[in-house]
Structure 1
Amino acid sequence: MATQPKVVIIGAGIVGCALGDELTARGWTDVTVLEQGPLFATGGSTSHAPGLVFQTSGSKTMTEFARYTVEKYNSLTLDGRWCFNQVGGLEVATSPERLAEIQRRHGWLSSWGVDSRLLTPGESAALHPLLDADRVLGGFHIPSDGLADALRAGEAQARRAMARGARFLAHHTVTGIETTGDRVSAVVTDQGTFPADVVVSCAGFWGPSIGRMVGQPVPLVPLAHQYARTTALPVLEGRNDEHTQASLPILRNQDAGLYYRELVDRIGIGSYAHRPMPVSLDDVAHPHDAAMPSSLAFTEADFEGAWADSLALLPSLADAKVEEGFNGIFSFTSDGMPLMGESPTVQGFWLAEAVWVTHSAGVARAMAEWLIDGRPGTDVHACDVNRFEDVQLAPSYVHERSCQSFVEVYDILHPLQPAGAPRPLRISPFHARQEALGAVFLEGGGWERPQWYEANASLPEVARVPGRGAWASRHWSPIAGAEALVTRERVALYDMTPLTRLEVTGPEALAFLQRLTSNRLDRPVGSVTYTLLLDAVGGIRSDLTVARLETERFQIGANGNLDLDWLRRRLHGDGSVQVRDITAGTCCLGVWGPLARDLVQPLTDTDFSHRGFGYFKAKHACIGDVPVTAMRLSYVGELGWEIYTTADLGAKLWDTLWQAGQRLGIVAAGRSAFNSLRLEKGYRSWGHDMTTEHNPYEAGLGFAVRRSKEHFTGKQALEGIGDDTVTRRLTALVVQDRNSVVMGHEPVHAQGRPVGYVTSAAYGYTVDAPIAYAWLPAELATPGTPVEIEYFGTRVPAVTAAEPLFDPEMSRLRR
């Protein structure tokens, strides 16, 4: 591709305008933005967006997107008029549960570096005088939040892009996308054809229609969201003018699913308190036929509860009524996150969809970095369109989960909150056995995953498990602690089937994997290697276990569909390497604990002794009647094996091990115990503990990098970086109070200021203390340094610790 590729952006809403600006600012000026409606009130979601920019999110990525949006739009003007009015944001709690939640939200922003403060009811009412202080238990103020004028911000960015050479063309309806081979080559409109090396769909809720032109699923659902404007309020008379529009903070009453903003002397009210109202694109007018096709008729009955709740919170509304309203269409996804990235099947076709004004500039910057530099500066794995498994792209699944995302916009969601329908979807071959043992299932990646087993409630170890606070007790049971203790003392079975398994085969399989991973894989058949996928600047894309099962066949334990996508994109296409996902046709049991060998060895003729079957080795064997591939690995820090077989033999494998294990006191154990055990050993979880924003030495994974390899992706970027040069570290913390079990994302304070944030946390039942891992400045990572974790507004004392906390000599693994 030429240095200056031809870029066509579909859609001149806020995202398309922002992307045009970000691309041209970086030197890509051959940019054409096609809009089916007029410029810049296109008729899409941007045209009616209320413009509230709240930065608070439990996602570091989404907060970063919003923060950049605030910074950028606050610096823009259009013809002397503001594009961002930084009036601040105020969230109020009207229930004890919400009061606790805003304390947690304050912790998020402290973690991500955004200034905020908690308020009393009186302070909240002083900041927003329309509030009835008697209805409020507390408030949460973010001074840098504010109101974006989406149309002005879009046009201001478009003008800057046009000044650098970009074209914005109105009334160009895209009718097709041409491809040459597996690459885009042109965009066809009703006004002509535009050659393109890169096409980016920023079409909003019309995105699925654009995606269908190249066979790319765009898993979003357009849903209507109610917005109303009141008549004039006497209390606001003279407070604002048409230029300023607002001076009070934007306000959210999330207990009632409502938000508010000033409109000179009126109030705009947005509601998520109504039933989901999905919209079929077949029922949406084209901008040629309607000035605002994304604005549907107001359904007054759906707003009755919202109006009553508004009158209770803002008594001044008694002097007004709803003057006008509409149901505006916005895009929702099954997990509430945007859709970003390149199609896996059509090169050059990119998506930036399901993006609200709040995150628009941040998403555009990340997209521009991705296109030009090959990677975004912000971790976007939770936004990558390729994150979904095939089952999660089924239209019925997308529809149901996206509607649930609408319902949950303002809900208080626990980190372990189980997903709703449709369930169950993916079940392992052990599912019936697990149900018989009273498994309590949560869901991840579509898989039903046992969290603990009620059959273990009578274990005497349950009495050794300490209690914990109300929040940490949700979706938890002391049974999980007992399962962890039994794993350390006897033996347990863990269902590892949901772990993504990839098979890489072919004469060039070794060379292919050597180029892409950080560790040395040219080891004998039967070897297993822990390694990393790095990007070009040394950021950690994933961590893998790679087993060499035959000279030209490798099995990879991966972190999900993004790893499959990453590998497939790097195939040469000559057939010398094949990569396929074998997860669905296989299953896995983790057999771990000091008695694991006593369980397995009598069931097989294969030598499972330490000398005969060393650590990080793999063998083919039979367990009873079941042919298996056994790998001597342990993510829980105990003697044992991951034992794989085909899905049809899964139930037989479970029964064989379960029956033989009765004499040893075997238990089935769930993910809650698993997470506790892995943190005691300091084992990282990609996507939680480290991402592309971190390098291996910061994350404590330098041992997985072999600099002696001739070449691997990211090697050059790591030159000069080592354990002694990093400025931040992933650090183990031990919490002093046994009852203070934190959950993740909490800020860590030292010397009276926030210095980092928690990634993963659990109670360590063997070390008998709560554990947290956190990113901290390197100078604070020295073992024994006192710190504090902010947990629901309370500072919980903790101390940094050497890792691993359990069995640092690794003697348990190497028996």
Structure 2
Amino acid sequence: MRTDSTLPSSAETVVVGAGAVGCSVAYHLSELGAENVVVVDKGPLPVTGGSSTHAPGIMFQTSPSQLMTKTAHYTSRLLDDAGVYDEVGGIETARSEERMDFLQRRVEHATAYGLPDPELLTPSEVTDYLPLVDEDAILGGYYSPTDGRVDGVAALQWYIGESDADFYGHTAVTDLDVTGGTVTAVETDRGRIDCERCVIATNNWGYQTGKMAGLDLPIAPVEHQYAVTEPVPELAGTDPATRVDTEAMDVPGDRSIADAMGKTPSRPVGRDQDHSLYFRTHGDALGLGSYNHETLSVDPDAMGSNTERRQASVREFTDRHWKRATHPDRDTSAKRAFEELLPVTEDLDFQTTENGIFVFTPDGMPLVGETSAVDGLWTALAIWWTHSGGYGKLLAEWMENGVPRLPSGPVPTGGIHVERFEPHAGSKPYFVDRGATQYRQVYSIVDPGWQPDDHRGLRRSPFHSHQRDLGAEFAQSGGWESPKWYDSNADLVERYADRIPDQEGWAAINRSPIEGAEHLHTRDHVSMFDMTSFASITVEGPDAADFLQRVCSNDVDVDVGRVRYSLLLNEGGNILADVTVVRLDDDEFMVTTGGGNSPGIHGSWLQSHAPDTVSVTVEEGAKSTIGLWGPKSRLLLQRVTETDVSAEGFPYFGAKRLYVGDVPAIALRVSYVGELGWELWTPTEYGARLWETLWEAGQDLDVRPMGTGALESMRLEKGYRLWGTDIDTDTDPVAAGLPFAVDTDTEFVGRDALERKREAGVDSRITPVTLDDSTDRVLAGRPVRKDGETLGYVQAGDYGYSVGESVAYTYLPVEYADAGTAVELLCEGEMYDATVRDEPLFDPGREKLLR
């Protein structure tokens, strides 16, 4: 580690930002042997003036997200071993029955993802840990014993001292040089640093830093205020020792907040999520924070020095934050809520206040990975202290070895990838508003399937007006308005009433029995499904076949008119994407992939790996697509086309250019629901006519629209994988049960690593389980157990209306993955007996697909 005053003229890697995340990335790169790593920050070291040193350092590890939980746990273990973490435990209290149910979900997620010894507490057990809490104000609590608090300044000192990287404070980045689509240098107010790679870890200033490279990164800053009280008599005698003497440091602004944050907590950190509050002890004082106020969004272009907004006056702080959230009939302010929970705070003044910044993305998850627009430019943004060690580790592994991983193994990146957002997410009004929503929801109980109200209707298929007329219940995904179900199909519920069990409670929110009716109708008749949110990628050129052979796990050098299901793998043999490859001509292919965040991630990966002789064009939205599925789909399609669509004339996994009425289309005989059917792809301008042609021709066949709810239950019955849910960068084709998508006689990215995995044998594999005596729907992220041991967790679950059983998919250790094994699933506080099954559950002989 060097902190010389002379800036180097070149480096292999430059990390911009020396806060928790930037220091973690540099440390982990050094651990992996990366050389010539330079870290720059405009502030002094280690107290740079960003969030890392003014944050209270509270670390609650439990999350509905497996990745967020695991990165938090890794961070706590790393910093605990470093001696800069206070493992005092964490307690989340409940003041309502709804919150107690929420805390039960906390226990289930913590159990599923491997956190040690989570438990629910009675009110008296809470006050045994937190005697300042009013026992009569709560119904109970959730306790995670390895939660705690990081000493931010001490942790940054440790990172800098332990890393082989060179750190330079008082160095403001003024520009990022990009030449030929590749980052080539970092310009600073002290000189230029030529580099091969650059990591943006500026967090609060992430949007501004991204603009230097021509990127619109959706990073929304939000003000957040925190107070430390004067000494509390009940805490008298508590050791207020700190690890770091800030007197010897260059501390921007008032050093009192850095001193206060360094004081050791004597009791567990706490949350009162019903009132969006959190608290901790600072020696003999209390630290109080609240989200219980209007969102104080900051224009990301106006983010100046954090010192400019630090230390809001007590009057401003109190008026803006603690007293503003008041109901017309009662005081609902943060101050009142704290006084109810912690009566000792009623007459206390604040000795220190902090006006800091958090940043949020539109979906509340971090922004991590290499950008597609600029080679060599990586991001590590929207990450808090809680997860900083874990994300620094996985990003360093990703950069050095091509495989994002933690010590426990590879991790999924679909939900955090920098390329997951659609182009509209770069609009400031959009991401600032969505960031504000994420801020408000930090402590909210967010219903399953919740949908935002703002910025809707951004992307609408040409079928939208027809869907609206049919009573579609729309949900937004990637900006697309996709129907979950249609009210016009309500009559089907009565038709199939005996096969659609009632669902109650949490699992039934934002659900409809119409979804089950649409599922069953498709199995019996014919339905139309809007696939416009799915993307097609045109790959063409004289070397197109060779290129696809190199990046696809399957043999895709097939005859013209044939379709092949394949995977894209990373260097570690794990799954980057699952795709359908269609050969349209000798030098022309169409690659299709799912909706959501798939087009941006998968399309950009193909583009970045293509040679100059191959053109890769992502055509998201350029084509409109209808899935025409069900036993009557052939009869309907044959009515509107002169092309032979018989079983002999149009076999399974075939493709043809044809006309549907007047509409030119590419027809693929594939089906994501396990029924006879086709995907019909046409240029968007023909989309409305495509819908109308099929709809009018199918009325006597009882053609119906079908939504995403039916799609999910049908694909689970059939065992079809969903990228980002069942498969991701943490899984390989063997464990995922996809050996048919791999042809090891071809040379492809990840082949050698996959062969090593096959030889070593997998530890776990995916399998369906069904509930023995219940029709309840089991939710994702809930533990799968046997004899008191947690074996895994639910990847996805739904009721299988055709098989008449509740279905869940999970990865189980191979010794438990054989059909017939008895297991238990814990969901919403109820333990369900379940049995491992062979897959697929529906139509195992594929008679329906091949008819």
The TM-score normalised by the length of structure 1 is: 0.95
Partner of 1:286: 305
Does 1:650 find its partner at 2:684?
no
Residue of 722, 744, 752 corresponding to 1:685: 722
- The Cα offsets for residues 135-194 of structure 1, whole Å up to 9 and x where unpaired, read as 222211111111001111011110111xx3x22112111112234433222222111222
Distance 2:571 2:125 in 1: 49
Distance 2:128 2:453 in 1: 40
Shift of 1:700: 0.5
Partner of 1:131: 133
Partner of 1:313: 341
Residue aligned with 1:812, SS: helix
Shift of 1:722: 4.1
Residue aligned with 2:621, SS: helix
Distance 2:300 2:689 in 1: 49
Shift of 1:29: 3.3
Shift of 1:412: 1.4
Partner of 1:785: 821
Residue aligned with 1:719, SS: helix
Q: Which amino acid is 2:197 matched to?
A: V
Distance 1:647 1:195 in 2: 45
Partner of 1:271: 290
Does 1:347 find its partner at 2:382?
no
Distance 1:483 1:371 in 2: 45
Mapped contact 1:45–1:294 kept (Cα < 8 A): no
Q: Which amino acid is 2:638 matched to?
A: Q
Mapped contact 1:48–1:295 kept (Cα < 8 A): no
What pairs up with 1:362-761 in 2 under 5 angstroms?
362-377=390-405, 378-459=411-492, 460-464=494-498, 465-559=500-594, 560=598, 561-572=600-611, 574=612, 576-709=613-746, 711-722=747-758, 725-761=761-797
Residue aligned with 1:544, SS: strand
Does 1:9 find its partner at 2:51?
no
Q: Which amino acid is 1:47 matched to?
A: T
What pairs up with 1:199-210 in 2 under 5 angstroms?
199-210=198-209
Partner of 2:98: 97
Does 1:120 find its partner at 2:155?
no
Mapped contact 2:568–2:575 kept (Cα < 8 A): yes
Residue aligned with 1:275, SS: coil
Q: Which amino acid is 2:282 matched to?
A: L
Mapped contact 1:233–1:319 kept (Cα < 8 A): no
Distance 2:103 2:609 in 1: 44
- The Cα offsets for residues 356-390 of structure 1, whole Å up to 9 and x where unpaired, read as 11111111111211121122112222111111111
Distance 2:370 2:309 in 1: 28
Mapped contact 2:574–2:732 kept (Cα < 8 A): yes
Shift of 1:319: 4.4
Shift of 1:743: 1.8
Does 1:300 find its partner at 2:315?
no
Shift of 1:293: 5.0
Distance 2:635 2:305 in 1: 70
Shift of 1:282: 5.7
What pairs up with 1:8-27 in 2 under 5 angstroms?
8-27=14-33
Partner of 2:326: none
Mapped contact 2:655–2:667 kept (Cα < 8 A): yes
Distance 1:674 1:177 in 2: 45
Distance 1:295 1:479 in 2: 54
Shift of 1:272: 1.0
What pairs up with 1:204-219 in 2 under 5 angstroms?
204-219=203-218
Mapped contact 1:680–1:806 kept (Cα < 8 A): yes
Change (3 A) 1:92 1:502: same
Shift of 1:130: 1.5
Shift of 1:497: 1.0
Mapped contact 1:37–1:170 kept (Cα < 8 A): yes
Mapped contact 1:208–1:217 kept (Cα < 8 A): yes
Does 1:72 find its partner at 2:78?
yes
- The Cα offsets for residues 525-565 of structure 1, whole Å up to 9 and x where unpaired, read as 11011100111111011101111112221111113110011
Q: Which amino acid is 2:170 matched to?
A: H
Partner of 1:193: 192
Change (3 A) 1:281 1:458: closer
The TM-score normalised by the length of structure 2 is: 0.92
Q: Which amino acid is 2:643 matched to?
A: T
Q: Which amino acid is 1:330 matched to?
A: F
Distance 2:536 2:312 in 1: 46
Shift of 1:242: 2.3
Mapped contact 2:448–2:509 kept (Cα < 8 A): no
Could you tell me the percent identity over the aligned residues? 41
Residue aligned with 2:404, SS: coil
Name which of structure 1's ranges 772-781 and 577-586 shifts more when overlaid on structure 2. Answer: 577-586
Partner of 2:227: 228
Partner of 2:277: 258
Does 1:801 find its partner at 2:837?
yes
Partner of 1:80: none
Mapped contact 1:11–1:33 kept (Cα < 8 A): yes
Shift of 1:198: 1.5
Distance 1:679 1:704 in 2: 18
Distance 1:724 1:495 in 2: 42
Q: Which amino acid is 2:721 matched to?
A: R
Mapped contact 2:310–2:354 kept (Cα < 8 A): no
Query: Runs of 5+ in structure 2 lacking a partner?
Result: 1-9, 243-262, 324-332, 406-410
Q: Which amino acid is 2:104 matched to?
A: Q
Distance 2:122 2:305 in 1: 48
Change (3 A) 1:650 1:23: same
Shift of 1:104: 1.0
Distance 1:714 1:27 in 2: 22
Partner of 1:40: 46
Change (3 A) 1:624 1:437: same
Does 1:60 find its partner at 2:66?
yes
- The Cα offsets for residues 450-484 of structure 1, whole Å up to 9 and x where unpaired, read as 00111111123342311012111111111111110
Change (3 A) 1:256 1:699: same
Residue aligned with 1:268, SS: strand
Change (3 A) 1:413 1:239: same
> What value does the CA root-mean-square deviation take over the aligned residues?
1.7
Partner of 1:176: 175
Change (3 A) 1:692 1:323: same
- The Cα offsets for residues 24-77 of structure 1, whole Å up to 9 and x where unpaired, read as 222223122111111111111112111011111111111111111101111114
Mapped contact 2:266–2:282 kept (Cα < 8 A): no
